[in-house]
Amino acid sequence: MQAAPYTLSPEDLYLFNTGQLFRAYRTLGAHATEWSDKNGVRFAVWAPNALAVSVVGDFNNWDGKEHRMEMAGTTGVWVLFVPQIGEGERYKYEVIDAHGRRKLKSDPFAFRSELRPNTASIVADLDLYEWQDQAWMEQKRRNPPYQRPMLIYEVHLGSWKMDAPEQFRTYVELAEELVDYVADMGYTHIELLPLGEHPLDRSWGYQTTGFYSATSRYGPPEGLQKLVDRCHREGIGVLLDWVPGHFCRDDHGLRLFDGTALYEPSDDRLADKQLWGTLAFDFGKPEVVSFLISNALFWMDVYHIDGLRVDAVASMIDLHFDKPEDRKTNNRYGTSEHLEALDFIRTLNEIVFRHYPDNLMIAEDSSAYPAVTMPVYLGGLGFNYKWNMGWMNDVLKYMETDPDHRSSRHSLMTFSLWYAYSENYVLPLSHDEVVHGKRSLLHKMPGSYPEKFANLRLLYGYWMSHPGKKLLFMGSEFGQFDEWKDFTGLDWMLLTYPLHDSMHRFVRRLNRLYAELPQLWECDHHADAFTWIDVNNAQQSVLSFYRLARSTDTPVVIICNFSRHAYPAYRFGVPLPGRYRLLLNTDEADYGGNGLPVPEVTEADEPPMHGKPCSIEIPLPALTCQIWIPEEVPAQSLSSLATPI
């Protein structure tokens, strides 16, 4: 029991006002406690320019005259202890703003919110759930992510499965059905689209009003805790899309909270995100820094989230991002870098890794800003991964090209290796690429209906064997044909059709093969573990390369035919002599392919080719990826291979 919950800690208030209270959610917001031998709730809210603030709720008939708050000195934080109320109480803050206007505001630090369209905050205790994921937490400490497989299944919980519009699966139901599915498919992580409370279903959570309040659409907070716990007990990490760059304009939220630009900049050119209809955070205010960094730690502390995918980094760090000329501003040096946002990001990553050194901080960054995944102490932004948007754009542009014309765009598939090791990359095939008229991945593929599936299997084979961790959006694993429809569930009935069912089996096999082969993930960040065999065969639209790992001397050889021409006897160089075994052929009939005969084993022999000591000759069907591995590695041949650092 706190001795004086009513007054708050002067040290905490000082740290909040100086941008250093990194667990501010323990001080501000609504907390059930005891004071003067009475049980009740302590409320605290930051509103420095308000003329008065009251707590209103069912307990006082929403009458602001009943429970007026007091400001704690000159800190801008208003505080009040209300006796004889507790968990489950609905409440808001009645703010008499700087202009004398009365507003009802939701609690910025609320742990729970009403189901939309209602907007009241709810008193909640988030410390009651009994976690059972200790083994997961321990193994995470023992196994750094860089040398581990990372295959992320990106999920929008509301539309993964839906019985009818707005009839969502609950967190508790998803803890069984979704987790069983993800484990069976062989994914290592789930990435959840944002779960902070938001008023509009179709914003998918990217326009947030309740940054500390897990959305009530899918049930109470303990349901989300159960979902994460179940993931961990099944060996699955949980990542969360996190949106610190902007917030929703709805009047019950953060906008003009005390009648002034409080969470947003006072300069409308800085505040207004016209493209998204939202407002940017003011990263120059210390209290906003405390609010946001505390929020990052909150999801890790309270919900055991294993990492954050930080949304829209490019829009945060560039003052000119998507702005017309008359809305652009420059920093004090006359350039477009948002210096306060960059400082915020560096501090964010330093603090997160100080408390959670084994977690992930992933930048969704479409810019060319350097050293995004370099540590802060070396001059970087401090993330440990970045989405490779360049790879994604180039590869999809190439794959959408008719196979007969791909030879002229060959460099789109090879350019990424020039910069693949400049950052720690995730290769995303995300929700952003299958909405807003962009079409699904399957629908993007050219050619006849069977060719579309062949192209998609080929794309997945190349994606899985290219250096970098992996992310795939839900539905893409079985060839969702329509683009993602956020208002209905995925088209699971497609699994009754043979080609979609075959695609589903193929992706499960590819996922499991990825996990089994350290060559495909152990040295993602080391250039000497990747070697082109033939990078220049644009005429035939064929690429071949091999990959190495620290833990094995055996290379894995990959060859991809992006043309619609089959090559019955295609010869290419390989790094070692001996017998090679076929691990994957995307043309297999069981995967929906043509099933053209390809031997399971072939012998590497003369002549040397492509600068390699020997070669193999194989049938290479059209629109096919094949993965081969030497059956035995002669010790005397190992010196011919690059050794990963």
- In this prediction, residue 17 carries a pLDDT of 98
Token pair 């064929």 in the structure block, residue: 542
The residues, ordered by sequence, that sit 6+ positions from 131 with a Cβ below 8 Å of its Cβ are 225, 229, 304
Start and end residues for every CATH 2.60.40.1180 domain found in the chain: 528-640
Amino acid at 162: M
Range list for CATH 2.60.40.10 in the chain:
10-122
Q: What is the pLDDT of residue 144?
A: 83
Question: How do residues 356-385 score in pLDDT, each as one tens digit?
Answer: 999 999 999 999 999 999 999 999 999 999
The string of pLDDT tens digits covering residues 85-105 is 999 999 999 999 999 999 999
pLDDT cut 90: percent of the chain above it: 94
- The verdict on whether 364 is a catalytic residue reads yes
pLDDT value, residue 644: 57
- 148-387: in CATH 1.10.3430.10: no
Mean of the per-residue pLDDT values for the chain? 95
Q: What is this structure's pTM?
A: 0.96
The band of 638, judged by pLDDT with boundaries at 50, 70 and 90, is low
> pLDDT digit string (tens) for 427-459?
999 999 999 899 999 999 999 999 999 999 999
pLDDT for the residue 3: 42
Q: Looking at the DSSP assignment, which residues form a beta bridge with residue 559? A: 544, 626
Query: How many Å apart are CA 578 and CA 574, to the nearest integer?
Result: 10
At residue 632, the pLDDT reads 79
- Categorize the per-residue pLDDT at 166 as very low, low, confident or very high, splitting at 50, 70 and 90: confident
* Extended beta strands in 450-529, E state: 469-473
Measure Cα distances from 625 to 139, 303, 397, 399, 599 in Å.
34, 40, 18, 14, 14
CATH 3.20.20.80 residue ranges of the chain are 148-387
Whether cis (ω within 30° of 0) applies to the bond prior to 446 is no
Given 264, 282, 306, 364, the catalytic residue: 364
Angle at 285 between CA 330 and CA 123, to 5 degrees: 135
User: How many whole angstroms separate alpha carbon 523 and alpha carbon 644?
Assistant: 7
Does the structural domain 528-640 have CATH classification 2.40.50.180? no
Residue 482 is among the residues annotated as catalytic for this protein: no
The answer for residues whose C-beta is within 8 angstroms of residue 37's C-beta and 6 or more apart is none
Which range has the worst mean pLDDT, 5-9, 132-136, 533-537, 542-546?
A: 5-9
- Degrees, nearest 5: CA angle 455-457-460: 110
- Rounded distance between C-alpha atoms, residue 221 and residue 125, angstroms: 9
Supply the pLDDT for residue 639.
52
Per CATH, the homologous superfamily of domain 10-122 is Immunoglobulins (2.60.40.10)
Residue with tokens 């899985």: 464
CA dihedral 449, 454, 457, 463 (to 10 degrees): -110
Residue tagged active-site, from 311, 318, 340, 477: 311
Contacts of 554 (CB under 8 A, 6+ apart): 519, 629, 630, 633
Question: If DSSP codes are grouped into helix, strand and coil, which group holds residue 444?
Answer: helix
